[in-house]
Amino acid sequence: MKAIYQQGAADAPVLVLLHGTGGDEQSLLEVGKALDPQASLLGRKRHAPLLQTPG
């Protein structure tokens, strides 16, 4: 997995930003800043496509 980390305020929470298919590790950083401008942000990207099983 690829990740990007943006440090926020020392006493603020860390928001882990997970997106669906078609995004990358930076896709939700602006959403995270809108939710909590002081938070640290961790965006993750999967390297392999999700496998869907029949049924």
How many domains does the chain contain in total?
1
* Structural domain that includes position 39: 2-45
Confidence class for position 14, pLDDT limits 50, 70, 90: very high
H-run or E-run covering 2: strand 2-6
- The confidence score (pLDDT) of residue 55 equals 62
User: Does 50 map to a domain?
Assistant: no
Q: What is the pLDDT of residues 32-52, one digit of tens each?
A: 999 999 999 998 876 666 666
Long-range contacts of 24-31 (CB under 8 A, 24+ apart): 29/4
User: Does 51 map to a domain?
Assistant: no
| CA gap 47, 10 in Å, rounded | 30
- The confidence score (pLDDT) of residue 26 equals 84
CA distances from 19 to 1, 6, 13, 49, 55 (A): 13, 17, 19, 13, 24
Q: Is the per-residue pLDDT at 12 higher than 70?
A: yes
| CA gap 52, 35 in Å, rounded | 31
- The confidence score (pLDDT) of residue 34 equals 95
